[in-house]
Homo-oligomer: A and B are copies of this chain.
């Protein structure tokens, strides 16, 4: 007590800097997103998820032999410990896949024999797709598909999910989705990861926190609801009326607007043509066309308020076209973002400070306990 200055409560910690970081730069006015200094467009054009993961974790692009040993370790982690797989099969079929993923990563800690945090990181990142795909099959009573170590993370995920290898175009689309979701500065889930890391807790705890936080509908889950909206609109012709109705009712249009981007989201630009191509290929062109009509109608009213479509607007359509069930969208986001979470946690603890803010007390003081019958 005794502070003379007026108390400022930073609700939502908006515009409060909690740390320095070399990982991610977002210029929301100019639609720029850089991972370790490289634009996301450049990485999507030239790179692939495993290399981007190396870049985010280690701070630079790998040399050839570094990349192969990194990829090799990652692939060793695709396979879950047998006991863990047995436990996973006993999970109730109606469990939410995000609850399963959160529990699965937490459980993975039981089987840890890593010598350091970087190998622990690869165990977690490599195992997450197996947890999600295994549960997605188990809940439908399907035989589990063991991972194939010769496949990339994205390809292997689709393989484990569907039981057959995706063609090159599908695999590449999935890989790009992985890249654009890998990292996004100090969002809520990443922040919860560094709060957990700041007590010097372990990486399993860190990623478990991240999943727990991403699960909330204000964070993960927007692409799911955007897709559901397009499906409910039903056709491009009905888009304008539906958008009018939604906006006039002061309801939020999912996949539009962002606290940081005040112009289009660069990830949206990357995903839109992919969503188009895949929807057409899979005979779901009407969903894409509906979304595009929704976009046009919404932009007429929202662009003057600097509200533009974000990453979630077309990612759901892309996943849907790939035949992925809606409730797996947020787990996929988590699988991809795990790299960003871990990169931030490892960076933070290098120069650690326990994160312990304050709450401003507005309650009563010095109340006197009263016996139960006098209340």
Name A residues whose Cβ lies closer than 8 Å to a Cβ of B. Answer: 1-2, 7-25, 27, 29, 34, 36-39, 42-43, 45-47, 61-64, 67, 83, 86-87, 90-92, 94-96, 99-100, 102-103, 106-107, 109-111, 185-189, 191-192, 195-202, 204-206, 208-209, 211-220, 259, 344, 353-373, 375
> B367 to A19, Cβ gap below 8 A?
no
Complex Cα–Cα for A353 and B10 (A): 10
Set B9, B25, B47, B373: member contacting A20, Cβ < 8 A: B9
List B contacts of A215 (CB < 8 A). Answer: 199, 201-202, 205
In the complex with contacts A215-B201, A353-B12, A208-B102 CB distance below 8 A:
yes
A293 CB, min distance to chain B CBs, angstroms: 29
Residue of B nearest to A212 (CB): B205
> B219 to A213, Cβ gap below 8 A?
no
List the 9 shortest-distance A-B pairs measured between CB atoms, nearest first.
A199-B216, A22-B363, A201-B216, A205-B212, A37-B367, A12-B353, A13-B357, A21-B359, A199-B219
List B contacts of A18 (CB < 8 A). Answer: 9-11, 13, 357-359
List B contacts of A200 (CB < 8 A). Answer: 216-218
Set B1, B67, B107, B356: member contacting A259, Cβ < 8 A: B356
In the complex with contacts A16-B10, A357-B191, A107-B111 CB distance below 8 A:
no
List B contacts of A24 (CB < 8 A). Answer: 359, 361
List B contacts of A37 (CB < 8 A). Answer: 363-367
> B191 to A356, Cβ gap below 8 A?
yes
15 intermolecular pairs with C-beta atoms under 8 Å apart: A9-B17, A9-B18, A10-B18, A11-B353, A21-B360, A103-B106, A103-B107, A103-B110, A188-B355, A191-B355, A198-B218, A200-B217, A201-B219, A205-B215, A206-B212
> A373 to B92, Cβ gap below 8 A?
no
Set B7, B36, B100, B199: member contacting A367, Cβ < 8 A: B36
> A188 to B198, Cβ gap below 8 A?
yes
Given contacts A191-B355, A198-B216, A199-B216, 16 further A-B contacts (CB under 8 A): A2-B29, A13-B18, A14-B353, A18-B357, A20-B359, A20-B361, A34-B366, A38-B367, A64-B373, A83-B90, A91-B107, A95-B109, A102-B106, A103-B106, A202-B216, A208-B208
For A13, A29, A86, A218, the residue with the greatest tally of chain B CB atoms inside 10 Å of its CB is A13
List B contacts of A27 (CB < 8 A). Answer: 1
> A188 to B38, Cβ gap below 8 A?
no
List B contacts of A95 (CB < 8 A). Answer: 109-110
Complex Cα–Cα for A62 and B369 (A): 11
> B213 to A23, Cβ gap below 8 A?
no
> A92 to B99, Cβ gap below 8 A?
no
Set B22, B61, B110, B344: member contacting A99, Cβ < 8 A: B110
A138 CB, min distance to chain B CBs, angstroms: 13
> A372 to B64, Cβ gap below 8 A?
yes
> B106 to A208, Cβ gap below 8 A?
yes
> A369 to B109, Cβ gap below 8 A?
no
Complex Cα–Cα for A375 and B93 (A): 48
> A195 to B195, Cβ gap below 8 A?
yes
Set B63, B96, B196: member contacting A109, Cβ < 8 A: B96
